Amino acid sequence: MNRRSFLKWANMAGLAVGLPSVSAFGTASEDAKPGSLANAPATKKVASPETLLLKDYRPKSIYKIPVTEIAKAKFPVIDMHSHPYAKTAREIEEWVKNMDEVGVEKTMILTMTTGAEFDSIQKKYSKYPDRFEMWCGFDFAGHDKPGFGAAAVKELERCQQAGARGVGEIHDKGKGLRSGKSNAPGMHPDDVRMDALWEKAGELGMPISLHVADPIWMYQKMDRYNDGLMNAYEWRLDNQPGIVGLAGMVDILERTVQRHRNTTFIACHFANLDYDLARLGEALDRNPNLYADISARYAETAPIPRFASQFYAKHADRLVYGTDMGVDKAMYRVTFRILESLDEHFYEAEQFSYHWSLNGFGLSGAILKQVYHDNAAKLLAARRA
């Protein structure tokens, strides 16, 4: 399953949580076959270049240059951004085996759920307490009624007692907060109604995995100039009036993080500032309680390897590894290749659905160790202090 079909599946499944619909397993091996283009049946016919569609364009690199295969990450890895993809005991076992093979020590399962749904996921994964951590969501029921807060705080405390170690993934793509199936249209993270929840999470030592906005191309015009058109069109936001834009959401993120200094926030996916890493750098510099995860933005940063690796060097103490892309060994290995190697001009359209070619960052051992492991370990250990 490539990232586009994976995301489509995750979205249909209410962001992959709790529903026994299509599994990340089973379909994965079939879709991941080299040369099989799950999304591009048109390529089965020989398309004329005159009529070839961008979504079907699958160039192959012609360069005779080094190709680095990284079976296992250079250092033990903590994956700070994943979801309960494995639904059965057998699938969980298979995932653990994959993690062993590629060198992932521990995975944060962002369940986005509360109540019985959280408890059942927690129970399913309880056989491997050293390999998986369960993070719960928020219950936004009654967010639009006076007195919202007390019940949500109570449920957060209950989840923590049931085993939740953090909170996530909480989304706000501009229309208001969402935690899996629970949502709060129009209420953004910096809303005073959210104060009690953020504060309680800090008090309980639960870090927050917070996803704001979406990649910039989705806000731009869907035309010939849109650099990320093939993914942007599917996830477009340009046609949604009244939505808070990307810059506005990043400001909201910063205001939230500033208001709650005793709470640790992890901005998912570089806060969607993969196109403007300097802006993310400013936010990190201003906010000691802010981290960023690098999940699901590998393809968006690999086209700019020199600028990206400089950014990693500058903020090596605040970036944490994450995937958010299923459980396949091939998926993990692509992320290692981008972080570790100096390979150039390679395509991973099966994983990411972009026609762009990618390049490795060649990060140093010291930086890799921080991003793969040490920053996350430090952040997680701080909870027990």
| Cα angle: 223, vertex 224, 229; to 5 degrees | 70
Closest CA to 297 of 56, 3, 1: 3
- Exactly one of 91, 119, 324, 350 binds Zn ion (CB under 5 A); which one? 324
Smallest distance from Zn ion to CB 171, Å? 9
Smallest distance from Zn ion to CB 289, Å? 21
Count interface residues toward Zn ion (CB under 5 A): 2
Q: What are the helix (H) ranges across the chain?
A: 3-12, 27-31, 89-102, 115-124, 150-162, 195-203, 229-232, 246-259, 277-286, 298-301, 305-314, 329-340, 349-352, 365-369, 375-381
Smallest distance from Zn ion to CB 81, Å? 5
Q: What are the helix (H) ranges across 173-237?
A: 195-203, 229-232
When asked if residue 190 is in the footprint of Zn ion (CB under 5 A), the reply is no
Smallest distance from Zn ion to CB 197, Å? 20
Contact 127, 172 (CB under 8 A): no
Contact 116, 142 (CB under 8 A): no
Segment near Zn ion (CB under 5 A), from 38-46, 63-71, 280-288, 316-324? 316-324
Sketch the per residue contact string, 157 through 186, with Zn ion: x for CB under 5 A, - otherwise. Answer: ------------x-----------------
Give 7 or 232: the residue with its C-beta nearer to Zn ion.
7
Helix axes 115-124, 150-162, angle to 10 degrees: 10
Give the residue closest to Zn ion by C-beta: 324
Smallest distance from Zn ion to CB 47, Å? 34
Chain positions 249 to 268 lying near Zn ion, rule: CB under 5 A, are: none
Give 201 or 367: the residue with its C-beta nearer to Zn ion.
201
Cβ-based neighbours of 304, under 8 Å, separated by 6 or more: none
Q: Which residue ranges make up the site for Zn ion (CB under 5 A)?
A: 169, 324
